[in-house]
A and B are shown apart, each in its own frame.
Chain A
């Protein structure tokens, strides 16, 4: 009940802030379009599209969540909530639900644009693609919540993004296939959730092979979401110094 009220409150905050909505919903589609014309080659674009469709929900949700929760911490509303009957999980799931809903919009638009205007050929299953995109946005939300605990200002919070994002992208198998990396890097790559998210998206979009590999990837990403949520809950203390 409190979870739903919290999700509705966060959606109301978004509604009152059209610029953030635009950032969340339009930017991924715009970048897909930009990339399409930059590459100017449909088969190559089709190779890149799954990666973008994985990265954007994660990236945007990470940013928006870490800034929104940081604001809760600094404005005193978190202190008020921690003195109220709200449980930590109510807040985390509230954010997850609200931004998850925003992510559905975001992915729906980016997909519609890609599949129609940009002529992306989806060989896999639509639901699989949407599932991966949603998990990615939840992962971004959960990690954003966790990282915001270590930021003292919005400026610092924004700086966590490259810190979290760039290693995951470099080691995630987009630029160099993971099995061609140095052994140590491959190990690191093996523990980063984005590696699995990217692979799952590739399977869903390009090969349409939804076998055990796909489900293992989904399980790893979902597990990472739960882990990040638990870590995030641990940073929400009722008593602070």
Chain B
């Protein structure tokens, strides 16, 4: 075990250009180990781009991203990170179980893993259903299940709870908390502020800049609001030149 003081993710001066525009303008922050960190911000603010940079699939223009002590994208990291893309990355012409078996083989995960993750996301009843026939919420849970295969030390989840009913969302957040309690680091993005309260730490993003990097309590106290949506607005007002 490495010292717990060392962050799971350390980003310094990260700049990303997509198309003709700079999408991330020199971000710096750290994600502590063994906690749930929320990456929040409106659609288009750069959450997916940042997540892709951390996972090592994004071409970056500058800055450094260190994940679990190694440069992002290192070969050794590929077994240690569970990644769930924003659009469900599931083969539509394979059943849920066939999908899980394939990705388990790619990751070298135990043979018992597909059944385990299927239960964790509550899709036991759909094991033999083709990906293409799942509903939107089921599809994103199947995609989430893939990222739980193996025993990732870091879970990077891009809007995993979009389109799910409140009961399922609550169950998934309990699952995330359970994993964090066992020492797994979780970085989860969302554009819905009411999910922020479930995180131990929040990084708020707006137009490619960090608006806030704090605990939910710290944010509420600093902005003197009870609700995080209000806190977000307050922070934007503060930034605006008077």
On chain B, the residues within 8 Å of A1 by CB distance are 105
Specify which of A9, A80, A238 lies most central, judged by the most chain B CB atoms within 10 Å of its CB.
A80
A144 to chain B, nearest CB (A): 17
Query: Who on chain B is nearest to A8 by CB?
Result: B102
Query: Who on chain B is nearest to A5 by CB?
Result: B105
Q: Is the CB of B75 within 8 A of A9?
A: no
CB of A169 closer than 8 Å to a CB of B: no
On chain A, the residues within 8 Å of B184 by CB distance are none
B231 to chain A, nearest CB (A): 32
Q: Mark B93-117, 1 if CB is under 8 A from A, else 0.
A: 1110010001101111000000000
Q: Is the CB of B55 within 8 A of A12?
A: no
Q: Is the CB of B57 within 8 A of A81?
A: no
Q: Is the CB of A13 within 8 A of B94?
A: yes
Say yes or no: A12-B105 contact (C-beta < 8 A), given A83-B78, A85-B75, A239-B73: no
Q: Is the CB of B98 within 8 A of A12?
A: yes
On chain A, the residues within 8 Å of B28 by CB distance are none
Which residues of chain A from 122 to 139 have any CB-CB distance to chain B below 8 Å in the complex?
none
Which residues of chain B from 123 to 155 have any CB-CB distance to chain A below 8 Å in the complex?
130, 146
Query: Who on chain A is nearest to B146 by CB?
Result: A80
Q: Mark A4-15, 1 if CB is under 8 A from B, else 0.
A: 011011001100
Q: Is the CB of A85 within 8 A of B92?
A: no
On chain A, the residues within 8 Å of B73 by CB distance are 238-239
Q: Is the CB of B106 within 8 A of A85?
A: yes
A92 to chain B, nearest CB (A): 15
Q: How far is the CA of A166 from the CA of B43 in the complex (A)?
A: 45
Say yes or no: A76-B85 contact (C-beta < 8 A), given A9-B94, A12-B94: yes
CB of A212 closer than 8 Å to a CB of B: no
On chain B, the residues within 8 Å of A186 by CB distance are none
Say yes or no: A17-B57 contact (C-beta < 8 A), given A5-B102, A84-B106, A85-B106: no
On chain A, the residues within 8 Å of B90 by CB distance are 75, 77
* Interchain CB contact (< 8 A) of A82 among B57, B60, B105: B57
Size of B's binding interface in residues, CB under 8 A: 35
Q: Is the CB of A2 within 8 A of B106?
A: yes
* Interchain CB contact (< 8 A) of A17 among B56, B93, B106: B93
B40 to chain A, nearest CB (A): 22
Say yes or no: A9-B107 contact (C-beta < 8 A), given A79-B89, A83-B83, A241-B59: no
CB of A116 closer than 8 Å to a CB of B: no
CB of A240 closer than 8 Å to a CB of B: yes
Q: Is the CB of A79 within 8 A of B93?
A: no
Q: How far is the CA of A84 from the CA of B19 in the complex (A)?
A: 25
Q: Is the CB of B57 within 8 A of A5?
A: no
CB of A86 closer than 8 Å to a CB of B: yes
Q: How far is the CA of A241 from the CA of B61 in the complex (A)?
A: 10
Q: How far is the CA of A74 from the CA of B130 in the complex (A)?
A: 18
* Interchain CB contact (< 8 A) of B87 among A8, A17, A76: A76
CB of B79 closer than 8 Å to a CB of A: yes
Q: Is the CB of B89 within 8 A of A239?
A: no
Q: Is the CB of A83 within 8 A of B107?
A: no
CB of B70 closer than 8 Å to a CB of A: no
Q: Is the CB of A13 within 8 A of B57?
A: no
Q: How far is the CA of A2 from the CA of B18 in the complex (A)?
A: 32
Say yes or no: A84-B103 contact (C-beta < 8 A), given A12-B98, A76-B87, A240-B58: yes
Binding site for A on B (CB under 8 A): 17-19, 52, 55-60, 73, 75, 78-79, 81, 83, 85, 87-95, 98, 102-103, 105-108, 130, 146
- A–B pairs, 27, beta carbons within 8 Å: A6-B102, A6-B106, A9-B94, A12-B94, A16-B93, A16-B94, A16-B95, A16-B130, A75-B87, A75-B91, A76-B87, A76-B88, A76-B89, A77-B89, A79-B85, A79-B89, A81-B106, A83-B56, A84-B107, A85-B79, A85-B107, A86-B106, A238-B73, A239-B56, A239-B60, A240-B59, A241-B19
Identify the 6 closest CB pairs spanning chains A and B, nearest first: A76-B89, A5-B105, A80-B89, A9-B102, A76-B85, A85-B78
Given contacts A238-B56, A239-B59, 4 further A-B contacts (CB under 8 A): A2-B106, A80-B85, A83-B55, A240-B57
Binding site for B on A (CB under 8 A): 1-2, 5-6, 8-9, 12-13, 16-17, 75-77, 79-86, 238-241
